[in-house]
Structure 1
Amino acid sequence: MNQDSSRKRLAEARRQARVLTSGVFGMRGDAELCKIVEEAATAMRFPYAAVSIVDRSRLWLAVAYGFDPREFLRPDSFCDAAIQLPGFAPLCVSDAWREPRFKFAPAVVEMDVRAYYAAPMVTDDGFALGTLCVLDQKPRTIDETALALLTRLATDATAVIDRESNAMAHAEYAIGELVTRIRFAVADEDEELATLLDEELRQLEAKMKPDWEPKAQ
């Protein structure tokens, strides 16, 4: 593996660890996030909206408007493409049927989605947790005002998720998952990945000690 590939792989592993330690996987159906997706859908007049978290191999929907929260496979997905755009720019797909790269996107295959607009949810330390997205089963275009609203609401959603208290409330799940991933990395003799994940685990465990002081909210 060349240096560039190794760097990207470790950067993605660090992003995944940041997703885990945010505590978001304990937020299915969160009331504040529900209000945000409802505002996005109604203000932009889209039938569907969601907070989509990009995990290792899946998209995990914390909340959804217009359909039940679910999981999708990550490969070929809109949200995976969205978090990889330079500068975390919004992803705008007016008609997925005219976009060959999204021909087999899970939302297209499973929900007949054609229009998709998303703003990445980016933490203050620069990690994309996923997206706030709106979807429709017919082609759609939106103006700059609507796109600005979506971007602002994505920032609001990130703030709801990325709270120290939330991370601590759901730390046990993150610790268990990090331990599992460390074991797999060790079994694969991937020392770099095992070291990175171990550092993330130690930092999270340190935050759980009684004498640790959380950052100001």
Structure 2
Amino acid sequence: MASAEDRRDGRGGSVLPAALFDSARVAAVETTGLLDTGPEDVFDDLASLASRITGTGRAFVTLVDERRSFWKSCVGVNLITPAERQAPIEQSYCSFIIGADGEPFVVEDAATDPRTAEHPATGSMRIGAWAGYPLLDPEGRVLGTLCVIDDSPRV
């Protein structure tokens, strides 16, 4: 549920959680030094393992600042440059995890789930099912997510 501090995405669309704009969280994301950097084996290995274990076609390790979801690793899509490997936060499911205080967010059928049916990423990223888990700093702030995506609905 949206809190009084949650914000509209600026285009009359979805509500973005206030936690997304928390200055301490955003500073912690920036402090990682990982935004706008190239692929690294350790992150690609983690995403590849998640994809293999779940049998999904795509997996991402993301960092989320107040305006975008940056894909430090994006297995199953052919994106190389940092400019290609990101999406505006309004077009990312990652805000669901940040808004839920870092609880996992799992959708078995994105097209019919009321939380995601009208979300811009559902169609543009061909999301049938999505499972995301928070990446936390030592203080418990959500820095991003590890998520897997399947083109088709599934448990």
- Report the TM-score, using the length of structure 2 for normalisation: 0.78
Corresponding letter in the other structure for 1:83? I
Cα distance in 2 between the residues matched to 1:17 and 1:37 = 24
Give the number of the structure whose alpha-carbon radius of gyration is greater.
Answer: 1
Contact 2:61 2:145 in 1 (8 A): yes
Contact 1:76 1:104 in 2 (8 A): no
Contact 1:28 1:61 in 2 (8 A): no
Q: In the alignment, which residue of structure 1 is the partner of 2:41?
A: 31
Q: CA deviation at 1:76?
A: 5.5
Quickly say closer, same or farther: Cα 1:135–1:9, change in 2 above 3 A.
closer
Per-residue CA shift, 1:38-59, capped at 9, x if unaligned?
Answer: 0000111111000121121111
Which blocks of at least 5 consecutive residues in structure 2 are unaligned? 7-17, 80-84
Q: How many residues in Structure 1 have an aligned counterpart in Structure 2?
A: 136
Quickly say closer, same or farther: Cα 1:40–1:13, change in 2 above 3 A.
same
Cα distance in 2 between the residues matched to 1:26 and 1:112 = 24
Percent of residue pairs identical:
28
Q: In the alignment, which residue of structure 2 is the partner of 1:97?
A: 111
| Matched position secondary structure for 2:23 | helix
| Matched position secondary structure for 1:100 | coil
Which blocks of at least 5 consecutive residues in structure 1 are unaligned? 142-217
Q: CA deviation at 1:101?
A: 2.8
Q: By percentage of residues, which structure has more helix?
A: 1
Per-residue CA shift, 1:69-90, capped at 9, x if unaligned?
Answer: 421121263111012214x221
Cα distance in 2 between the residues matched to 1:9 and 1:90 = 15
CA RMSD in angstroms, aligned pairs only: 2.2
Per-residue CA shift, 1:134-164, capped at 9, x if unaligned?
Answer: 00110111xxxxxxxxxxxxxxxxxxxxxxx
Q: In the alignment, which residue of structure 2 is the partner of 1:13?
A: 23
Q: Which structure 2 residues correspond to residues 139-158 of structure 1 after superposition, within 5 A?
A: 139-141=153-155
Say which of 114, 139, 148 aligns to 2:128. 114
Q: In the alignment, which residue of structure 1 is the partner of 2:59?
A: 49
Is the aligned partner of 1:83 residue 2:98? yes
Per-residue CA shift, 1:140-192, capped at 9, x if unaligned?
Answer: 11xxxxxxxxxxxxxxxxxxxxxxxxxxxxxxxxxxxxxxxxxxxxxxxxxxx
Cα distance in 2 between the residues matched to 1:92 and 1:124 = 24
